[in-house]
């Protein structure tokens, strides 16, 4: 079930057979508002389906995540996911060197948002 899609940027899909949500990233150049919208929709679908697992595939990304989005993940979003009962997020890292640096940066902030 497709939850959110912006072609060439991101597709978010719920897989009921394994009960997880896949964030398939192609490009991080989406607006902060779109980031918040797609995550709100994913969380609503997760709660509706008692889904506690996310997979974030960033292997095709060659761009960096905006710093304001990184901060929002760590300060706002991750604590909300923890409060909602999310049990695990698996991340498939990017192959691009610049995207890998961005990936490491937001991972550090996100992990810092965990209790």
Is there a contact between 27 and 58 (Cβ–Cβ < 8 Å)?
A: no
pTM of structure: 0.83
Q: Would you state the pLDDT for residue 71?
A: 86
Q: Would you state the pLDDT for residue 98?
A: 64
Q: Give the DSSP H/E element, type plus range, for residue 104.
A: helix 97-112
Q: Would you state the pLDDT for residue 112?
A: 56
Q: Would you state the pLDDT for residue 97?
A: 64
Give how many domains the chain has, as a whole number. 1
Residue 55 belongs to domain with CATH number:
3.30.750
Q: Would you state the pLDDT for residue 113?
A: 47
Domain range for 56: 2-112
Q: Would you state the pLDDT for residue 78?
A: 85
Q: Would you state the pLDDT for residue 47?
A: 95
Name the stretches of the chain with pLDDT < 70: 97-115
- Residue 23, phi-psi category: left (phi > 0), alpha (psi -120 to 50), beta (remainder): beta
Q: Would you state the pLDDT for residue 24?
A: 97
Residue with tokens 């398939």: 24
């Amino acid at each position: 079930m497709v939850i959110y899609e912006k072609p060439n940027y991101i597709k978010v899909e719920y897989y009921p057979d394994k009960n997880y949500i896949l964030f398939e990233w192609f490009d991080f150049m989406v607006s902060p508002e779109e980031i918040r919208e797609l995550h709100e929709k994913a969380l609503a679908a997760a709660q509706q389906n008692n889904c506690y697992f996310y997979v974030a595939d960033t292997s095709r990304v060659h761009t960096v995540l905006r710093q304001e989005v990184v901060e929002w993940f760590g300060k706002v979003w991750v604590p909300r996911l923890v409060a909602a009962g999310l049990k695990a997020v698996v991340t498939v890292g990017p192959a691009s060197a610049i995207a890998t640096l961005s990936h490491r940066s937001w991972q550090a902030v996100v992990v810092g948002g965990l209790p």
